[in-house]
Amino acid sequence: MSDLASIRLRPATPADLDAVLAFWKTSAEGTSISDDRDGVERLVARDPEALILAERDGEPVGTVIAGFDGWRCSLYRLAVHPGHRRQGISRALLAAAEERFAALGGRRGDAMVLDANESAHPAWRAAGYAPEPQWSRWVKPLTP
């Protein structure tokens, strides 16, 4: 099915979290230290509009996290189910995230995209995003 009109976009709720975590296991590239029930539960509790869910017939087919800390607009976990790709779902999710950012006063969307996830790069480019090769992500896990 390729009818984008059958896609419903909405903020994920605590009741959706198990389905979202299962969805990411089949549809998202890589994992993060916070890709667990506690991490996603904290996200939704702190910012109930940040995790945007795309669903078709009540099932998740896409997600994006559109986090805004009052200064930066950050995009994470853009994922579309493999059986629903190339139907405009990622474009719709990014448009919803950008609308959210604009309403909050955001000025630029920053996306975390794995270099090795080359199949995602065309979707990001098509949405107007480009890598900034002068930046590297530096991380330090805060838990043992």
The pLDDT tens digits of the residues spanning 66-91 come to 999 999 999 999 999 999 999 999 99
Residues 6+ apart with CB under 8 A from 111: 74, 75, 76, 78, 124, 129
Would you say 113 and 124 are in contact if contact means Cβ atoms under 8 Å apart?
yes
User: Domain limits of the chain?
Assistant: 4-126
CA dist., res. 129 & res. 15, Å (int): 32
Please indicate, yes or no, whether the overall pTM of this predicted structure exceeds 0.85: yes
Tens-place pLDDT, residues 99-115: 999 999 999 999 988 88
On average, the pLDDT of the chain sits at: 91
pLDDT tens-place string over residues 18-58: 999 999 999 987 667 777 889 999 999 999 999 999 999 99
Query: How many contiguous H segments (helices) and E segments (strands) does the chain have?
Result: 4, 5
Q: How confident is the model over 55-65, as pLDDT tens digits? A: 999 999 999 99
Q: Which CATH superfamily is domain 4-126 in?
A: Gcn5-related N-acetyltransferase (GNAT) (3.40.630.30)
